[in-house]
């Protein structure tokens, strides 16, 4: 099983949006039994809270479920347990890397690194900007590109076609 963790600051805006969107994309590819998805925040302010109302509204408008999403803080064991740890921006990557030294297995990247045509790799925090539509569009591009990479790396069948691993 491939495990993907999305991380932002408080785990109420960007990372739960990415988690929900990535779940939907994975489900459409029929890989929900092969890819586990979660999200977390580097801060502890919102532990146990549902996503921000702006995140809920934009996801609901796009028929993406927010069921089961509750904020949590990233834990050191997450760096050992997840194959892909995807930060929403450079600051959160830096915070993750502060605890990474003891967990060399962890592959930490920034979501928009998977979208070469976007120059600014940081997904802005809509908690401060209020621009949930911009964030949704960036997260959608990043999640699509990330899933393509994961499929290419882990789920190519022997004929070279993308699909479920055998």
> What is the DSSP secondary structure assignment for residue 116, as one 8-state letter?
T
- For the question of residue 14 being annotated catalytic, the response is yes
| 13: nearest Cα among 132, 93, 98 | 132
Given 23, 38, 125, 143, which residue is catalytic?
125
Please enumerate in sequence order all residues whose Cβ is within 8 A of that of 160, keeping only pairs 6 or more positions apart, or say none: none
Record the tokens describing residue 14, joined without a space: 């960007």
Note the pTM of the prediction, 2 decimals. 0.93
Please report the pLDDT score of residue 99 as a whole number. Answer: 84
- For the question of residue 8 being annotated catalytic, the response is yes
Given 13, 14, 78, 143, which residue is catalytic?
14
Please report the pLDDT score of residue 164 as a whole number. Answer: 47
First CA to last CA distance, the chain:
12
Given 8, 13, 38, 143, which residue is catalytic?
8
Please report the pLDDT score of residue 165 as a whole number. Answer: 43
- For the question of residue 93 being annotated catalytic, the response is no
What residues pair up with 3 in beta bridges, in sequence order? 36
Mean pLDDT by 10 residues, the chain (166 residues): 97 98 97 97 96 98 96 94 96 91 81 97 95 98 97 71 45
């Amino acid at each position: 099983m491939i495990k993907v963790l999305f991380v932002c600051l408080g785990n109420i805006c960007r990372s739960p949006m990415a988690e929900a969107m990535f779940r939907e994309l994975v489900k459409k590819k029929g890989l929900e039994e092969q890819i586990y998805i979660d999200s977390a925040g580097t801060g502890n302010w919102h532990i146990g809270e549902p996503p921000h109302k702006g995140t809920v509204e934009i996801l609901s408008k796009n028929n993406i479920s927010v069921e089961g999403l509750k904020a949590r803080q990233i834990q050191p064991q997450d760096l050992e347990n997840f194959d892909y740890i995807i930060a929403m921006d450079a600051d959160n990557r830096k915070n993750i890397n502060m605890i990474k030294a003891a967990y060399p297995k962890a592959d930490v990247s920034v979501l928009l690194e998977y979208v070469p045509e976007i120059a600014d790799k940081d997904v802005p925090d809509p908690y401060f900007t209020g621009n949930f539509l911009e964030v949704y569009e960036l997260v959608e591009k990043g999640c699509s590109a990330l899933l393509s990479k994961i499929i290419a790396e882990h789920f190519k069948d022997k004929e070279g076609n993308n699909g479920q691993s055998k």
